[in-house]
Structure 1
Amino acid sequence: MHTLYYTPGTASLVVHWLLIELDVPHELRLVDFDSKAQKQADYLALNPNGVVPTLVIDGQPLFEAAALVLHLADQHPKGGLAPALDDPQRGLYCQWLLNLANTLQSPARLWWYPQDIGTDVEAIKTGARGRIEAALERLDAQLGAHGPYLLGERISAVDFYLVMLMRWTRTMPRPATDWPHLAALAKRLKARPSFATLYEREGLTEWA
């Protein structure tokens, strides 16, 4: 059994989405940020970083969204969302997964939580915005030249991860959907039945 500790709309969203997409039996445990449940001792025993997601698989807690994306897609190969280890596209798949974690998720988190690293909130957000927009420019160019997915004609778990991160930019001065190839990717993935189920279960309405 899989148990996902989640908060709607956060980095846990992509893990929840893949659990639905891959038809993996699971249960959900809400982590209430308003009461700072993620900083309580019982949760820190599962995830010492005090963030979501945490995915407990047969009693073993695992964390880090990118790692969970990688693990779930590999553990459920019938879903076809990860190239096998001997597949020529495996290297590209890993490359884009880690690229997204480092060049897009990291500054996007700073945009939403600038107070985590300093008091000059506007300066932090300005710096984060520059990094986010530069990353989006590169990703849009990649999709334009080699798309429609990050692995070309082949959809993979990394595309789900990218669309989740695109959602995080929805209130920025220039959201990810301002880039045409990124907008087309989001439209395709948001049309999947799993996305509607995800939104219903997490109680989300914006960016639908």
Structure 2
Amino acid sequence: MYSLYYAPGAASLVVHWLLIELGAPHELRLVDTQAKQHKSAQYLALNPNGVVPTLIDDDGKPLYEAAALVLHLADRHAQSGLAPALDDARRGEYLQWVLNLANTLQSPLRLWWYPQDIEEAQADTIKDGARRRIEATWDRLDAHLAAHGPYLLGERVSAADFYLTMLMRWTRNMPRPGHEWPHLAALAQRMKARPSFKTLYEREGLTEWA
């Protein structure tokens, strides 16, 4: 059984969602980020970055980094079809998309939410730069879906689409959220229609962007 250290709506959301989608037995361990539990010595011993998610695998070893956990779970549960096999022609493209999302969306999104991590005095400038990078990425992704969709790998849904949907959710209160791009909006609606998404929201107590 897996154990997932999570905080509602945080980067752990995609890992929790995949565990539900995959039907993988798991338990949830809430990390109270408001109380700074993610910075406690006990938690840092599991994840020295002091962020969620952390996933305890069957062997008891803690694993972290949301993108890595997406790849790990989809490969570990290959019967789900959420990751192309090693000899599948689309394997490289799939890996490319997961890492692209981590670098071109999750990274600047963190800067938009926490510009003070770089320089508090320049927070507005940092946020503006991050917003422009995010919107440029939405432009590219929407164009890709228009030409090659409806999912990132075409007709086939993959774990990368779960990751993308979580990142779209994070922009819901930005000046121009990801779901304002038409093909991204269509993907989000398809992903949110999955029964696992409803279960995820119920378990995490979420209501926004349902």
1:136-156 CA distance string (max 9 Å, x none): 100000000000000011000
- Residue aligning to 2:99: 98
Q: 2:18 corresponds to which residue?
A: 18
Report the residue type matching 2:176 in the other structure. R
1 CA distance for matches of 2:205 and 2:118? 30
Match of 2:53 in 1: 53
User: Residue in 2 aligned with 1:146?
Assistant: 148
Q: What one-letter code is carried by the residue in structure 2 that aligns with 1:186?
A: A
Q: Render the CA deviation track for 1:19-64: whole Å, top value 9, x for unaligned.
A: 0000000000011111100000000000000000000012110000
Structure 1: how far apart are the matches of 2:207 and 2:115? 25
Whole-Å separation in 1 of the counterparts to 2:10 and 2:63: 16
Secondary structure of 2:119 counterpart: coil
The aligned counterpart of 1:183 is 185
* CA distance, structure 2, for counterparts of residue 101 and residue 31 of structure 1: 22
Shift of residue 124, structure 1, vs aligned partner = 1.2
Q: CA deviation at 1:121?
A: 1.5
- SS of 1:155's equivalent in the other structure is coil
Q: Choose 92-101 or 106-115, whichever is displaced more.
A: 106-115
CA distance in 1, matches of 2:119, 2:56: 32
| Distance (whole Å) between structure 1 residues aligned to residue 133 and residue 113 of structure 2 | 14
Partner of 2:205: 203
Specify the alignment match of 1:5 in structure 2.
Answer: 5
Amino acid of the structure 2 residue aligned with 1:18: L
Q: Aligned-residue CA RMSD in angstroms?
A: 0.6
Task: Please tell me whether residue 164 in structure 1 is matched to residue 166 in structure 2.
Answer: yes
Amino acid at match of 1:81: L
Q: Percent identity?
A: 76
Aligned to 1:137: 139
Partner secondary structure for residue 117 of structure 1: helix
How many residues get paired? Answer: 208
Aligned partners of 1:20 and 1:95: how far apart in 2? 24
Aligned to 1:107: 108
The separation in 2 between residues aligned to 1:205 and 1:123, in whole angstroms, is 31
Counterpart code for 1:7: A
Q: Report the 3-state secondary structure (helix = DSSP H, G, I; strand = E; otherwise coil) of the residue aligned with 2:209.
A: coil
CA shift for structure 1 position 78: 1.2
Letter in 2 for 1:73: A
Q: Report the alpha carbon displacement of residue 170 of structure 1 after superposing the two structures with TM.
A: 0.4
Q: Measure, in 1, the Cα distance between the counterparts of 2:141 and 2:113.
A: 21
Runs of 4+ residues over 4 Å off in structure 1: none
Query: Which TM-score applies when normalising by structure 2?
Result: 0.98
SS in structure 2 at match of 1:62: strand
Deviation at 1:123, TM superposition (A): 1.1
Q: Give SS of 1:205's match.
A: coil
Q: Deviations over 1:111-132 (max 9, x none)?
A: 1111211112211111110000
| Bigger shift: residues 107-116 or 188-197 | 107-116
Amino acid at match of 2:100: N
The corresponding residue for 1:67 is 68
Q: Distance in 1 between matches of 2:10 and 2:17?
A: 12
